[in-house]
Amino acid sequence: MRIRPKRLQPGDTIGIIAPSSPPNQESLERSLTFLEQLGLKWKFGKHINNTYGYLAGTDDERLQDMEDMFADPSINGIICAGGGYGSARFTDRLDLQLIRENPKIFWGFSDITFLHTAMGLYSNLVTFHGPMLASCVGKDTFHELSAKMFMQLFEPMELHYTEDISPLGTVSGDVAQGEIVGGNLSLLADTMGTKFEVETKGKLLFIEDVGEEPYRVDGMLNQLRMAGKFSDAAGIIIGDFSEIELKKTKNSLTMDEVFDHYFGDIGKPAVKGFKIGHCEPHFAIPLGVEAKLDGNKKTLTILPGVE
């Protein structure tokens, strides 16, 4: 049983860090109004303004900010400013025991997938795949439903995803229950062969990505298939695959054809079309909690992520 972090209360303080690429500072500043509306205070990591090429500071600086926030008793939760690239560069040095001993809300997605997977494996912590401050919340496109998803941090609530939210497609029928794991497909592929390799046995595997052509998604799915990640899984939750632009060849399979190839006869539920990922609205979900995927009714039910 994973550790569920303590729920937030109005007046609590959120730690804001940039574990990957430098966040847009104007967008980050605009996002603070939303935290105020939630009744939250905030504290920036010491290196939130740093840049080191395509990274938000050196590996040591980004690692320090993350560990400092978990160790600081005045911080009740941590929300990442943005993704991009770089969190995997320091994950093998991250004090995962410190995180296990100081469980608190950790929220982000995209490149943050590598951290979610590591904390799930070695800190036994429920974490949250949700829209980040500079890359989502501080933009004009931030959706009302995306904003509402933050309320799951204040009150334990069961989440229900149906076609009332977006059209869904059954790639493979059947019903399965299990713990949700996963996130960004590119980052899940990056975990292969490392001590942070995603564990899917008996679990519902969630995948999403952005800006990847069908042949690239095909290659990453094939890597996970050959590693046994699909045969081990209880079911497959296919999130948003956006900004698909054919660059290599005009003769391409569609993304749907790729999904049908890998999941059409998988013998377990696989459902596509969930607005979870690089999209608006972005339906935020806890990772590491029990959920039920019904491929026949096209529904997903997820247990609460906080205590």
143 catalytic residue (yes or no)? no
Measure the CA–CA gap between 157 and 307, rounded to whole angstroms. 10
Cβ burial, residue 54 (10 Å; 0-12/13-18/19+): exposed
Task: Outline where the chain has alpha helix (H).
Answer: 25-37, 59-71, 88-91, 96-101, 113-122, 144-148, 185-191, 214-226, 229-232, 255-263
Which of the following is catalytic: 47, 116, 129, 278?
A: 278
Backbone angles phi, psi at 244, to 5 degrees: -85, 115
* Spatial contact of 211 and 245, defined as CB atoms under 8 Å apart: yes
Taking each helix axis as running N to C, give the angle between helix 255-263 and helix 214-226, from 0 to 180 degrees, rounded to the nearest 10.
10
CA distances from 48 to 12, 55, 76, 142 (A): 20, 11, 18, 22
278 catalytic residue (yes or no)? yes
Measure the CA–CA gap between 84 and 147, rounded to whole angstroms. 21
Which of the following is catalytic: 21, 110, 123, 186?
A: 110
Which of the following is catalytic: 208, 212, 213, 282?
A: 208
Tell me the Ramachandran region of residue 42: left when phi exceeds 0, alpha when psi lies from -120 to 50, beta otherwise: beta
Measure the CA–CA gap between 302 and 292, rounded to whole angstroms. 7
DSSP-assigned letter for residue 152: G
Measure the CA–CA gap between 79 and 30, rounded to whole angstroms. 15
116 catalytic residue (yes or no)? no
- For the annotated catalytic residues, the residue numbers are 110, 208, 278
